[in-house]
Amino acid sequence: MNNKRNGSILKVRFFTFLLPTVMSIMAMSLNEFVDSLIVSNLINSDAMSLITMASPLVTAYGVVYTLLGIGGSSLFAIYSGRHDIKKADSIFSVTLITASIVSLIILLGGIVFINPLTNSMCKASEYLPEFIPYIKGLIVSAVVIIPVQVIIYFMPAFGCPGKGTLINITANVINLLMDYVYIGICGMGLEGAAYATLTGYAAGFIIVLFFHFTKKVLLPLSKVAPKEFKILLETCSTGLPSAMNQIGYCIKIAFVNSLAFGLAGMSGVTTFSVCMQAVSMVSILIGGVIDAMIPMSASLYGQRDFAGIRILMKTAMIVQFTANLIALVLFEVFPQFVLNMYNVEGDMVMPAITGLRIFSISFITRGFILMYMCLFPVIGRKGYAFMISLADGFLGIIPLSLLLTKFHGINGLWEAFALLPALMLAVILIINITISTRSEGKYSRFMLIEKEDTNVPVFDCTIMMSREDICALSGNIESFCEEHDLEPRLTNFTALVSEEMSVYTLENSQDTKVQSIDIILKIFSDYVLMDFRSIGKAYDLSSIPEGKNDFSSMGVLRKAASSVEYNYTLGMNQTRIKFDRKAKRSK
């Protein structure tokens, strides 16, 4: 057998998460596009303009549930990785309670300040009679949109990304169907579009309740004391870069639309719209990669499995780069495909093709920027991630586009989008290498992932769940322990534990296609730590009743170990067994 981890378990879980997260983002993207088409066809083109005017309110909802959802689910995964289940459950409960309170504040505040709110978004007073009821419907919708979206963010951390996708798809499909019912049949006008959204997310909430009470996804709700709400500061700081990126996106869109119109009139605005639609297409897969990566990297970080994070990030980076490279080739070779989708014709075709081809170059490097922005909060570099978010959002594009358009006109705008992520990536790599060098090798050069302490011997391998590999594993671990001067008694115990846990895993994993297990053994000065990770149905060694006369191998294991901790997170069984060296020596 090969005494090295191959990463197969982490890769399988990553790709298992990838499809549901991509489908979830696709459902939301398609819903926004199709919803606007349905509303404009059922009412008129002015209705779509009014929906666009209300976008700041919808964006505010997105900022709230992104802030709490990404921040809370990341911390949940980190503490799950640490086997601190009580703390993880508390984080979920605090996050969900906060999301509910914020949505109620939005509801009450929106009702009280409805007139100044609508006047600030809609400057044309003749549209207010239609606009105000629509905004009221959106305000009421906040009480379900925000909590449901927060729960969806937690689903991958629960190991159930598919169920989160189901909730999202159901909410959006019902939203579209109810557009026809409320607008087409009931004649509610634009107000009906808001209540269609409310109905869709209410259905999503009912599905959440169904999953919970049928124990398909048991929400880890727990009683929380007021002092536990202090975790909100860390939650918000973890989710802030992603939330800030949404705000920056809105600022960027407003600025670039204005600049493009000033430089080339409607032709410039049309080209920019085409480019942003191309970004939306590419973002479906990239967003899925990121949403699959965040909870897994957070759990591995909590477990201090830095080698696992490197395996995961390498896989995610390759997937996003490959997807972006394919997108670049398609948009360079077939730009007319995107233009035809949006009926770009006549004199606007050639400028749009030129703009799209230049703009698409940004795909190659921007994927790496987004990956860094989402990884760094997980590994404790929240300030760094926040600065990346600001630069990617609007701080970078505004000065660069103003500079390049002075020399190259409207094409300078597209060049700014292509050049900015490349410049940012170069700066990030320089900063990362500098930090790594100053840390004297404590952090990796490119991703700043902490390296294992060289003073702590680590045995890290993957074995296939066969009797032959299990027998070989026991002997290899025994040799490793003897090589690093572990006490004979503990050497025998670690070899026994590796064999018995592998057999136990084999017997409880007959339903899985991937028959492998990761074993990580670390020998510290005062204790020995063993981590076992596998895919399959949940099985908890620590929950098996312990009899008074239990002399089985597993019974002896539990008596000899200082602690046995189990956690089923992200669809993986994770067992941690600790042996106290000092205690053994004192005997």
- Helix/strand/coil (H/E/C) assignment for every residue in 173-209: HHHHHHHHHHHHHCCCCHHHHHHHHHHHHHHHHHHHH
Query: What pLDDT score was predicted for residue 572?
Result: 85
pLDDT digits (tens, 9 = 90+) for 92-118: 999 999 999 999 999 999 999 999 998
> Side-chain half-sphere of 354: how many Cα atoms within 13 Å?
14
| 397-411, 444-458, 464-478, 533-547: range with lowest mean pLDDT | 533-547
Report the run of H or E that residue 492 belongs to, with start and end.
Answer: helix 488-507
Determine the Cα–Cα distance for residues 260 and 270; give it in Å rounded to an integer. 9
Please give the pLDDT value at position 3: 64
Highest mean pLDDT among 40-44, 56-60, 348-352, 390-394: 390-394
pLDDT band for 541, please (50, 70, 90 cuts): low
Q: Which of 144-153, 262-271, 310-319, 359-368 has the lowest mean pLDDT?
A: 262-271
Categorize the per-residue pLDDT at 232 as very low, low, confident or very high, splitting at 50, 70 and 90.
very high
Q: What is the pLDDT of residue 1?
A: 53
Give the best-scoring range by mean pLDDT among 57-61, 129-133, 235-239.
235-239
The 10 Å Cβ neighbour count of residue 290 is 22
As a whole number of angstroms, the distance between CA 11 and CA 398 comes to: 39
Query: Which of 337, 448, 386 has its CA nearest to residue 236?
Result: 386
Joined tokens for residue 61: 């909802």
By percentage, how much of the chain surpasses pLDDT 70?
91
490 against 433, higher pLDDT: 433
* pLDDT exceeds cutoff 60 at 378: yes
CA angle 139/140/144 to nearest 5° reads: 110
Fill in the amino acid letter for 527.
Y
Highest mean pLDDT among 81-85, 187-191, 258-262, 402-406: 402-406
The structural domains of the chain, with segments of one domain joined by +, span 11-224, 243-451, 458-586
- Which tokens hold the place of 320? 């996003």
What type of residue is 389?
S
458-586 has which fold? Answer: Heat Shock Protein 90 (3.30.565)
Q: What is the pTM of this model?
A: 0.86
Residue 83 has pLDDT above 90, yes or no: no
Q: Which residue has the higher pLDDT, 249 or 63?
A: 63
Q: What pLDDT is stored for residue 127 in this prediction?
A: 80
How many Cα atoms occupy the beta-carbon half-sphere of 22 within 13 Å? Answer: 14
* Token duo for residue 168: 């999202």
Average pLDDT for the chain: 87
